[in-house]
Amino acid sequence: MLITGLQFKHITRNVVQKIAGVSVGVIGGYHGGNLGDMALGESVANILREQKIKTGLQTIYNLEKWPLAPFAIVGGGAVGYADSLIRVAKRYKGNYNKVALLGVDYNEKTYEGECLELIKNAAYLSCRSEAQAERMMLISGRKDITFHPDIAFSLYREFCAKNRKQIKDKQNKILLVNLIPLYGKLENGKMIPSAQYKDERPELYESFDQMHISYRKYVREVVSKALSEGYVVETIPFTPQDDEFGQFILEGLNVKHTPYHSDPLKMIRHMATAGTILATRYHATIFAIKLGIPLFPVAYAVKNELLLEDLGVPRTQFHSTVDLANGKENLSDAINVDEKSVNKYELRSNTAINAAITALNINN
């Protein structure tokens, strides 16, 4: 059976760790199928490498197949489900002080058994929002749970800071567009809602067709306007599904479709060439903000809305999926985020990663 390039990279990471060994396993949704997840892992792995600590990315969904590292950092994202955390809990049972849970979203209403023991006894625990941190302190009884911006904000700080300084001098007539199949999947040329969101986002599930009608109209108007002004337009998929959906939603327009890849550095360098970006995925939005590029944000999830509002973006200057479900599709101006706020987010993210590493006492 033939394997894809993504599968080959995935298998190679595993083999290299088994041969060379690993001191800290950075654990998360690192299967290569979502560039944003890979960005989370690289944000931690880069700092570990700078400290000369042998590390490697390990996939939480099949953790038992990866080499057992003496220490582990669960590196951010929406992996705080019981069926994921239980894999970490079983692997490090009796040694929870050698595990850090860094910038994770905890999505279960309650946690029990070994998952709860892991949460209570991990060397370090932080969340991506204050509300999550407060809830986890109530659940666990811990008083030391912190919160901070997404750890991907720590990535490529020097490169991004330089780009933010130079952005006013750039006159690039390039629009990069990140589109996603909102809460559904594309089947035979038609969008089908995902059943799992019937309970999670009922307001979107019920107005699924209207949401996609509004999304399509909004995106095509942004792209059409850019094309009329002489822009080159290109899609930037963060998952293979984004790639297919971008071609579907922009059919008939003079747009270049870039194939999906899972390399965060390659993506952020490419995004730095843009004059404007339309971003829907959370980490595509973060990358655009870090680069200082004028942004048309579509807040597909609540975490996107909270991020933009916390960074001072007025609610009237971006579209949420609820807006789209209610028929909002009007054009608005691209937004810019205050550079001081971006610097602050990057520093807080970087500080949290270093705090998690320190809490593990790796060299003692």
> Model confidence over 263-317: pLDDT tens digits?
999 999 999 999 999 999 999 999 999 999 999 999 999 999 999 999 999 999 9
pLDDT at 2 over 60: no
Q: Please, where are the H alpha helices in 250-298?
A: 264-271, 282-291
**Do the two domains 5-147 and 157-344 of this chain adopt the same fold?**
yes
Domain ranges of the chain: 5-147, 157-344
**Band (349; pLDDT cuts 50, 70, 90):** very high
Non-local (6+) Cβ contacts of 215 within 8 A are: 182, 249, 298, 324, 329
Q: What is the DSSP letter of 65?
A: G
Q: Are 88 and 96 in contact (CB under 8 A)?
A: no
**Band (10; pLDDT cuts 50, 70, 90):** confident
Task: Give the mean pLDDT of the chain.
Answer: 94
> Model confidence over 221-260: pLDDT tens digits?
999 999 999 999 999 999 999 999 999 999 999 999 999 9
What is the C-alpha to C-alpha distance for residues 8 and 22, in angstroms, rounded to an integer?
Answer: 20
CB count, 10 Å around CB of 209? 12
Domain 157-344 bears CATH identifier 3.40.50: yes
pLDDT at 111 over 50: yes
What is the C-alpha to C-alpha distance for residues 36 and 105, in angstroms, rounded to an integer?
Answer: 14
Q: Which of 295, 320, 305 is nearest to 211 (CA)?
A: 320
What is the C-alpha to C-alpha distance for residues 252 and 292, in angstroms, rounded to an integer?
Answer: 30
Average pLDDT for 19-45: 95
What is the C-alpha to C-alpha distance for residues 319 and 134, in angstroms, rounded to an integer?
Answer: 28
Which tops the pLDDT comparison, 147 or 109? 147
**Band (146; pLDDT cuts 50, 70, 90):** very high
**Burial label, 154 (beta-carbon count in 10 A; 0-12, 13-18, 19+):** buried
Q: Are 274 and 293 in contact (CB under 8 A)?
A: yes
Non-local (6+) Cβ contacts of 52 within 8 A are: none
User: Would you state the pLDDT for residue 330?
Assistant: 84
Q: What is the DSSP letter of 281?
A: S
pTM for this prediction? 0.95
Phi and psi dihedrals of 55, rounded to 5? -140, 170
Q: Please, where are the H alpha helices in 167-263?
A: 197-200, 202-206, 208-228, 240-249
User: Would you state the pLDDT for residue 1?
Assistant: 47
Token duo for residue 223: 């792209």
Token duo for residue 338: 């205050």
What architecture is the 5-147 domain classified under in CATH?
Answer: 3-Layer(aba) Sandwich (3.40)
pLDDT at 128 over 60: yes
Token duo for residue 201: 């986002």
User: Would you state the pLDDT for residue 207?
Assistant: 96
Average pLDDT for 35-53: 97
Q: Which residues of 282-300 are buried (b: 16+ CB within 10 A; e: fewer)?
A: bbbbbbbbbbbbbbbbbbb
Token duo for residue 68: 């057992």
**Band (3; pLDDT cuts 50, 70, 90):** low
What is the C-alpha to C-alpha distance for residues 227 and 254, in angstroms, rounded to an integer?
Answer: 8
pLDDT at 204 over 50: yes
User: Would you state the pLDDT for residue 311?
Assistant: 95
User: Would you state the pLDDT for residue 107?
Assistant: 85
Q: What is the dihedral of CA 76, 78, 80, 86, to 10 degrees?
A: -90
Q: Are 117 and 347 in contact (CB under 8 A)?
A: no
**Band (202; pLDDT cuts 50, 70, 90):** very high
**Band (332; pLDDT cuts 50, 70, 90):** confident
Q: Are 181 and 191 in contact (CB under 8 A)?
A: yes
Helix axes 264-271, 282-291, angle to 10 degrees: 50
User: Would you state the pLDDT for residue 4?
Assistant: 77
Q: What is the DSSP letter of 258?
A: P
% pLDDT > 70, the chain:
98
User: Would you state the pLDDT for residue 364?
Assistant: 62
pLDDT at 17 over 80: yes
Find where tokens 């997840």 sit. 37
What is the C-alpha to C-alpha distance for residues 127 and 136, in angstroms, rounded to an integer?
Answer: 9
Phi and psi dihedrals of 156, rounded to 5? 50, 50
**Band (341; pLDDT cuts 50, 70, 90):** very high
Non-local (6+) Cβ contacts of 167 within 8 A are: 291, 292, 293
